[in-house]
Structure 1
Amino acid sequence: MQVTYYGHSCFTVSTNGKKILFDPFITYNELAKGKVAAETVEADYIILSHAHVDHIADAVSIAKRTGAKVVANWEIAEWFKKQGVENVHPMNTGGKWNFGDFTVKCVVAQHSSGLPDGSYGGNPMGFIISNNEGSFYYSGDTALTLDMQLIPTWAKLNFAILPIGDNFTMDATDAAACAKMIDCKEIMGVHYDTFGFIKVDAQAANQAFEKVGAKLHLLEIGETRNF
């Protein structure tokens, strides 16, 4: 599986010839300017962890341009229909669905969720994505929670994508504890440095993961790597 990072919590996973875009927030991310443009990002699927604007800001425009299927909780899916996006698949915590190219299982995320117009954004979620190429876990924005101990009962992970920025989500130490719970050695960090509230010490973050025998990957915006 190949991952391209677009900044904040936005990334694409290419697998089985399909591009899965997660939580697109590019246009309003100052760190992404000059490195990536939302207008050039391709997607076959768009998966949204929750409704906060720093996770869905570019989702409507990219969905309309690409025709990508939007996968999200019920409330977000209904809101997207009202924005003129018809190719949506609603899900909710605990459910799974085989899309043919991969299976999505929705798991617990401890966070909040509100749509840009102030309406209720439904349950925040994490996702386990699995197919013949392997499995990965994207936690979405979340606190550390004992529910993460369930993840390895559902999938043997090739890698995981976890927030490390603190303040709104787990910090690196808690994310490292999550890595241990989910039995995953390869971790890609997200949701850090974008705003003043979530600046991180990269060296300290790396050391937190080293202590649990895991490797933290902090990709540059626009960087692609294989997991």
Structure 2
Amino acid sequence: MSTSITFLGHAAFSIKTGEFSILVDPFLSRNPLASISADKVEADYILITHGHGDHLGDAAAIAKRTGALIISNSEICDWFESKGFNVHGQHIGGGFTHPFGYLKLTNALHGSALPDGSNGGNPAGFLLTFKENGKKAYFAGDTGLFGDMRLIGEEGIDLAALPIGDNFTMGPADALRAVRLLQPAVVIPIHYNTFPPIRQDVAAWAREVEAQTSTLVKVLSPGESVEL
């Protein structure tokens, strides 16, 4: 009854839950840290937090090969639908029960323009409640710190994936504050060390989080997994 969450590098994840394979922000072919190539990854669903190339990534190629359903905000889904892809659009604060579980879109403080300059709508995070076991995972996407993370935390978060890279997103100090607001059982740091502007000492951050909160930090190398 477990759900397996595998870090693929940068902010990309592969999730195996029940009979379903889910990708989150599948930036693989241009990701120097990716643990798998875009032509080998499995997907029944592809979740995209926002329109930037390092999150939209290889979604089109993977969806074309696998027939995966793309789930994102309405603007991104409209963009993909116009190109012939299967989509399910949602928006911030809205949830929907998919076959794999309940998915709600949350706030994120960032941008979302698509690579061709099209409107990418509002960036979002994802709060997933897995049908397989009722566990909850929060994928923050690219975001700065915001106080309503406390409200997300009130849902009871088993696992959170939070950016720590600074420059484009929260840095280590704000990511620590986010952990305090969210109070997840486990946190995975993401969106760091892929490129020079977002290099961070992840081990130092993990020590601070575990010294100052009750949250367990799982620093995953690309290809490593955690079980929920």
TM-score range, shorter chain: over 0.9
**Where does residue 78 of structure 1 map in the other structure?**
78
Runs (4+) of structure 1 moved beyond 4 Å? none
Could you tell which deviates more after superposition, 47-56 or 210-219? 210-219
How many equivalent pairs are there? 223
Q: How far off its partner does 1:83 sit? A: 2.6
Q: How far off its partner does 1:185 sit? A: 2.7
**Where does residue 203 of structure 2 map in the other structure?**
203
**Where does residue 181 of structure 1 map in the other structure?**
181
Partners of 2:203 and 2:40 in 1: CA distance: 32
**Where does residue 193 of structure 1 map in the other structure?**
193
Q: How far off its partner does 1:89 sit? A: 0.3
Would you say the 8 A contact 1:179–1:185 is kept in 2? no
**Where does residue 4 of structure 1 map in the other structure?**
6
**Where does residue 112 of structure 1 map in the other structure?**
111
Unaligned runs of 5+ in 1: none
- 3-state SS of 1:30 partner: coil
Would you say the 8 A contact 2:183–2:215 is kept in 1? no
Would you say the 8 A contact 1:46–1:71 is kept in 2? yes
Cα RMSD, aligned residues only: 1.2
Partners of 1:196 and 1:160 in 2: CA distance: 24
**Where does residue 122 of structure 1 map in the other structure?**
121
Q: How far off its partner does 1:172 sit? A: 2.1
**Where does residue 96 of structure 2 map in the other structure?**
97
**Where does residue 47 of structure 1 map in the other structure?**
47
- Mapped pair 1:37 → 2:58: no
- 3-state SS of 2:21 partner: strand
Partners of 1:83 and 1:223 in 2: CA distance: 33
Unaligned runs of 5+ in 2: none
TM-score of the superposition, structure 2-length normalised?
0.94
Identity across matched positions, percent: 41
Would you say the 8 A contact 2:69–2:87 is kept in 1? yes
Q: How far off its partner does 1:152 sit? A: 2.9
Partners of 2:205 and 2:7 in 1: CA distance: 18
1:100-154: per-residue Cα shift (whole Å, max 9, x none)?
320101110011111010111100001110034111111110001001111133x
Would you say the 8 A contact 1:176–1:214 is kept in 2? no
- State which of 25, 36, 43 in structure 1 corresponds to 2:27: 25
Partners of 1:120 and 1:208 in 2: CA distance: 38
